[in-house]
Amino acid sequence: MPTISIIGTGLMGTSLALALRGSALRDLTIIGTDLEHASRTGAQKSGAFDHVENRLIPAVDTADIVVLATPLMAMEALLEVIGPELPDDCVVTDVGSSKAIVLKWAEEHLPDRVNFVAGHPMAGSEASGPLNADANLFANKVYCVIPSRNATERAVSEVTTMVEAVGAKPLFIGAEEHDSFVAAASHLPFILSVALVGCTSKSPNWQEISELAASGYRDISRLASGDVTMHRDICHGNSEPIVGWIDAAIQELQEYRSILADPGSLESGTLENLFQQAKTARTQWMAGSVQQDNRIISPQTEMPTFGDGMAQMFFGRQGTRLRKLMSGWGDSKEKK
């Protein structure tokens, strides 16, 4: 009976467990664990897990697949601690939104007898915690799969099977490419949402402005309600691509500013052309008609190899080992 252990029983971890529980996969044992007592309690109430373990090592030492569903910056310490305790041929994956840094940590801390296949589901919610978990969170969503250099075909196949079982679409992509593209499509929108709320709420007229804010403001500011810890870790783990896309956004805003500041430009039709270009681009995206390479891979397709180019990945050292994070796992006063 295959065992999947999920470390981190918040929104993503518990949603993954619920999706697996409702999938076509049979005879699975799903174990959950979390540093936070409240998350373990919520996960237990969700009914998604066969067992919620309050100790870290017993949650993983017999696992066939281990999924890291914690905040990004907790993952290095986790990999270092669980690495020696994992069984031979265990497959480790994650759901973090930055990939180069996680692949680096896995290479540093996991033994050769363990396979690491990085993952990132393009799914989420501004809500958090196991009580907001949704079995359909991954349905029809792209799920990025980035094998480590030494991952076996079997390991990649097992992760791909899990991805498809929860209704997602596996997409193989390089780590640097992933981190840049996700910075554009996911991380930059969060920064822009936060910047909008910061810009408007700091105004001395915010009370009056807030009374006029309607659906447009609500839609654009939605991401600012997201999990603070998760987004902090995203910015730590993927700062360089995010900075690049912020620069691009500033350049775009500067173009609009220049037009608005020049009456001649306002009368030239330039602004309407820019608006129309953006409208057309969004319409194509919404219709799924954006031209792109077809890289969604079916189980029958041969696993791609990334070659020596993977060695060129940017691996900035971020943060500390977070040893203190581990110290609270497995409170001796708590009953299993």
pLDDT of residue 292: 55
pLDDT of 286-316, one tens digit each?
A: 998 887 544 443 333 333 333 222 222 222 2
User: In this structure, are residues 38 and 57 in contact, taking their beta carbons and an 8 Å threshold?
Assistant: no
Q: How far, in Å, CA of 285 to CA of 223, rounded?
A: 20
Coil vs helix vs strand at 46 = helix
Task: Please tell me the predicted confidence (pLDDT) of residue 329.
Answer: 59
Residue 313 is predicted with a pLDDT of 25
User: Per-residue pLDDT tens for 208-252?
Assistant: 999 999 999 999 999 999 889 888 988 988 999 999 999 999 999
163: pLDDT strictly greater than 70: yes
Hey, is 247 helix, strand or coil?
A: helix
- What token pair was written down for 144? 């990025």
- Structure-model confidence comparison of residues 268 and 76, the more confident one: 76
Give the list of residues 6+ apart from residue 267 with CB closer than 8 angstroms, or none.
none
Q: What is the dihedral of CA 52, 55, 61, 67, to 10 degrees?
A: 60
How far, CA to CA in Å, does 163 sit from each of 20, 112, 132, 171? Answer: 9, 24, 20, 10
C-alpha 24, offset from chain centre: 24
Could you tell me the domains of the chain?
A: 3-174+295-327 (3.40.50.720), 178-286 (1.10.3660.10)
Q: Which range is least confidently modeled, 65-74, 124-133, 272-281, 309-318? A: 309-318
Mean pLDDT, range 250-269, rounded to an integer? 89
pLDDT tens track for 81-129 = 999 999 999 999 999 999 999 999 999 999 999 999 999 999 988 788 9
Distance CA 136, CA 327 (A): 34
pLDDT for the residue 103: 97
DSSP letter (8 states) at residue 269 = T
